[in-house]
Amino acid sequence: MNANGMMRLGDRLKKTRRDSFIGRDAELRRFGRALDGGPDAPRVLFLHGPGGVGKSALVRRFADEAELRNRPVVQVDGRTAPADAQGFGRAVSPATEDPRAVLLIDTFEDRGHLETWLFDECLPYLPDGTVTVVAGRQAPDPVRRADPAWADLLDVVQVTALDPAESRLFLLRRGIPEPLHQDILSFTGGHPLALALAAAAAVRHTGPVPGVDSAVAGSPGQDVIAALLRHLVGDPPTRAHRAALEVCAHAHITSEQLLRALLGEQGRELFAWLREQPYIETTTAGVHPHDVVREALEADLRWRDPDGFADLHTRLREHLLERVRTAPPARFLHAVGELQFLYRRDGFMSDTHRWHPYGLVEDLPCRPSQEPAVVELVRLREGADSARIAAHWLARQPEAFRIQKVPPGDDIAGCSAWLKLTAFEGESHDPVAAVAWEHVRRHGPLRTGEHISMARFHVGRGTYQRPSPVMDLVLWRMFGEIVRDEKLAWTFIAMRDDGFWDKHLLHCDMRPVDTAVEIGGHRYRLFAHDWRPLPTASWLAEKTDGMLGAVLTGSARAGAGTEPAGGQGGDAFVVTHAEFTAAARSALRTLRWPDELALSPLQNSRLVRAHAMPLDDVLRNAIDHLPLERGGERGHRAALAAFVEGASTQEAAARRLGLPFSTYRRHLAGAVERITDIMWRHEIDGTPLRRPGAPSTR
Q: How far apart are CA 44 and CA 253, in angstroms?
A: 34
**Over 70: is that where the pLDDT of 4 sits?**
no
Measured at the CA of 149, the angle between CA 143 and CA 155, to 5 degrees, comes to: 70
**Over 90: is that where the pLDDT of 432 sits?**
yes
Alpha-helix residue ranges (DSSP H) falling in 277-430: 291-304, 306-326, 329-341, 349-352, 371-382, 384-396
Mean pLDDT across the chain: 83
% of the chain surpassing 90 pLDDT:
33
**Over 70: is that where the pLDDT of 206 sits?**
no
Q: Is the preceding omega at residue 289 within 30 degrees of 0, hence cis?
A: no
Higher pLDDT, 453 or 191: 453
**Over 70: is that where the pLDDT of 312 sits?**
yes
Instruction: Note the residue count of the chain.
Output: 698
Phi, psi of 38, rounded to the nearest 5 degrees: 100, 160
Three-state DSSP class for residue 486: coil
Q: What is the pLDDT of residue 445?
A: 85
Alpha-helix residue ranges (DSSP H) falling in 1-127: 9-20, 25-36, 55-68, 85-92, 115-117
Alpha-helix residue ranges (DSSP H) falling in 400-446: 431-443
Question: What are the helix and strand counts (H, E) for the chain?
Answer: 30, 17
Bridge partners of 156, per DSSP, are 46
Q: How confident is the model at residue 560 (pLDDT cuts 50, 70, 90)?
A: very low
Q: Which helix (H) or strand (E) holds 616?
A: helix 615-624
Q: How far apart are CA 677 and CA 660, in angstroms?
A: 26
Per-domain residue ranges for the chain?
A: 9-158, 164-230, 233-342, 362-531, 539-685
The pLDDT tens digits for 251-288 are 999 999 999 999 999 999 999 999 988 788 887 788 98
8 A C-beta contact, residue 550 and residue 686 = yes
8 A C-beta contact, residue 629 and residue 667 = no
Q: What is the pLDDT of residue 314?
A: 87
DSSP 8-class letter at 357 = P
Q: What is the pLDDT of residue 106?
A: 92
Question: Is the Cα torsion angle 316, 317, 321, 324 positive or negative in sign?
Answer: positive
Q: Residue 218 to residues 50, 181, 207, 208, 293: CA-CA distances in angstroms?
A: 21, 10, 15, 13, 14
Q: Which helix (H) or strand (E) holds 414?
A: strand 412-421
The pLDDT tens digits for 98-138 are 999 999 999 898 888 888 899 989 999 899 889 999 998 88
Q: Residue 187 to residues 225, 377, 538: CA-CA distances in angstroms?
A: 10, 39, 31
9-158, superfamily in CATH? P-loop containing nucleotide triphosphate hydrolases (3.40.50.300)
Select from 476, 500, 468, 350 the least CA-distant residue to 402.
476
**Over 60: is that where the pLDDT of 3 sits?**
no
The pLDDT tens digits for 11-31 are 776 677 776 788 888 899 999
Three-state DSSP class for residue 402: strand
**Over 50: is that where the pLDDT of 572 sits?**
no
Which of 161-165, 216-220, 495-499 is modeled with the greatest confidence?
495-499
Measured at the CA of 346, the angle between CA 341 and CA 351, to 5 degrees, comes to: 75
8 A C-beta contact, residue 306 and residue 697 = no
Q: How far apart are CA 586 and CA 135, in angstroms?
A: 69
Per-position b or e across 5-40, b if 16+ CB within 10 A of its CB? eeeeeeeeeeeeeeeebbbbeebeebbebbbeeeee
What is the average per-residue pLDDT within 554-567? 34
Q: How confident is the model at residue 568 (pLDDT cuts 50, 70, 90)?
A: very low
Report the DSSP pairing between strands 488-496 and 522-530. Answer: antiparallel
Q: How confident is the model at residue 202 (pLDDT cuts 50, 70, 90)?
A: low
Q: Mind giving me the DSSP string for 112-142?
A: GGGHHHIIIIIGGGS-TT-EEEEEESSPPPH
Phi, psi of 299, rounded to the nearest 5 degrees: -65, -40
Q: Mind giving me the DSSP string for 172-221?
A: HHTT--GGGHHHHHHHHTT-HHHHHHHHHHHHH--SSSTTEETTSTTEE-
**Over 60: is that where the pLDDT of 561 sits?**
no
Q: What is the pLDDT of residue 239?
A: 93
Q: How confident is the model at residue 220 (pLDDT cuts 50, 70, 90)?
A: low
The pLDDT tens digits for 289-311 are 887 788 888 888 888 888 888 88
What is the average per-residue pLDDT within 240-246? 94
Q: Which residues contact 77 (CB under 8 A, 6 or more apart)?
A: 106, 107
Q: What is the pLDDT of residue 348?
A: 65
Higher pLDDT, 359 or 465: 465
Q: In this predicted structure, which of 218-232, 243-257, 349-363, 409-423 has the lowest mean pLDDT?
A: 218-232
Higher pLDDT, 224 or 63: 63
Question: Is the Cα torsion angle 326, 327, 328, 333 positive or negative in sign?
Answer: negative
Alpha-helix residue ranges (DSSP H) falling in 517-602: 536-558, 577-589, 594-597
Q: How confident is the model at residue 548 (pLDDT cuts 50, 70, 90)?
A: low
Q: Residue 99 CB: number of other CB atoms within 10 A? A: 11
Q: What is the pLDDT of residue 375?
A: 96
Q: Which helix (H) or strand (E) holds 492?
A: strand 488-496
The pLDDT tens digits for 503-547 are 888 878 888 998 899 999 999 999 999 888 777 777 777 766 666
Asked if 9-158 and 362-531 have one fold, the answer is: no
Three-state DSSP class for residue 29: helix
What's the one-letter identity of residue 563?
E
Q: How confident is the model at residue 10 (pLDDT cuts 50, 70, 90)?
A: low
**Over 50: is that where the pLDDT of 653 sits?**
yes
* CATH class of residue range 362-531: alpha beta
What is the average per-residue pLDDT within 319-327? 92
Q: What is the pLDDT of residue 353?
A: 74
8 A C-beta contact, residue 364 and residue 405 = yes
Q: What is the pLDDT of residue 310?
A: 86
Q: What is the pLDDT of residue 546?
A: 60
What is the average per-residue pLDDT within 616-640? 88
The pLDDT tens digits for 442-492 are 888 888 889 999 999 999 888 888 888 888 899 999 999 999 998 899 999
